[in-house]
Amino acid sequence: MSKKEPQAADIAAEALLTARVLSEALPHMQRYDDEIVVVKYGGHAMGDEQTARNFARDVVLLEQTAINPVVVHGGGPQIAAMLAKLGIKSEFKDGLRVTDAATVEIVEMVLAGSINKQIVGFINEAGGRAVGLSGKDGNMVKAKKVTRTVVDPGSNIEKAIDLGFVGEPVKVDTTVLDQILGRELIPVLAPVAAGESGGTFNVNADTFAGAVAGALKAKRLLLLTDVPGVLDKSKKLIKELSLKDARKLIADGTISGGMIPKVETCISALDQGVEGVVILDGKVQHAVLLELLTDHGAGTLIHR
């Protein structure tokens, strides 16, 4: 038997597998045809350059299949690295970073500058047409100062914490996005917003993505993180949750720590009209495609 025959058989098998995958993806493509999918791409999920390039290719594929992707990115690790490089020390209050005037300049420079344009570049190199924006552009997102309170353990008195220029969305104007979506363009948004009376606010990327997805009435909001999704008490992935289930798991302590604000963002987005929100591991190769275009799915789906 010649050596060429096994090679030809392998090629045929691989081609058949590709055809099966495409066949499986078809009903999912039809389900999301002309729908909006907001993808929050976290700083930790970005990983190395190859991971970022793979993500960019997946986003371009979504757009090519008549889905309208909107990318919202974070950049916490990159901001921390830049602050350290410039010798700017961060102050923390009750575990939360205070964004002072010097820090918010760096935040805007890193988020709306280097990270945003890197993602735009990767998408464009993959054959897409990305447009880099921040919440400031076209008054897209207006924010107000975040207020946080903690209870003093000694006196049991609640006191306010000043986090500086940390904001939360109060208004989303989709005019700019409405002009972009459906025109073979992919918006890439940095979570920086203007205040009602000017100034700049650093907005949590999950919160920003949830507000944008709600305003756009997105079919899906995908929160790419560095964990598989919501885990039960035995650390196994929960594939699907209703709003009622999600609230129950927060109340009984199953959902705890940093997962609480993520799930609360999911609940808020669903309340604003998003059909479903998925928390998934962005470091898994093709996580977005696995979730949207296969029967297998990825992460935890929370739905109304």
Instruction: Please report the sign of the dihedral spanned by the C-alpha atoms of residue 43, residue 48, residue 53, residue 54.
Output: negative
Structure-block tokens of residue 116: 């945003």
pLDDT (mean) for 15-19:
71
Beta bridge partner(s), residue 36 = 68
- The size of the chain, in residues, is 304
**d(Cα 198, Cα 252) in Å, to the nearest integer?**
41
pLDDT (mean) for 278-293:
88
Question: Which range has the worst mean pLDDT, 81-95, 135-149, 159-173, 216-230?
Answer: 81-95
Over residues 88-136, the pLDDT tens digits come to 887 877 666 788 888 899 999 999 999 999 999 999 999 999 999 999 9
pLDDT band at 1 (very low <50, low <70, confident <90, very high): very low
pLDDT at 207: 94
Residue whose tokens read 């010097």: 102
The answer to whether the CB of 114 falls within 8 A of the CB of 179 is: no
Over residues 246-255, the pLDDT tens digits come to 999 999 989 9
From the CB of residue 246, how many other CB atoms can be counted at a distance below 10 Å?
23
Regarding beta strands 240-242 and 220-225, do their DSSP bridges make them parallel or antiparallel, or are they unpaired?
Answer: unpaired
Domain 32-303 has CATH 3.40.1160.10: yes
Q: Is the pLDDT of residue 11 over 50?
A: yes
The domain limits of the chain are: 32-303
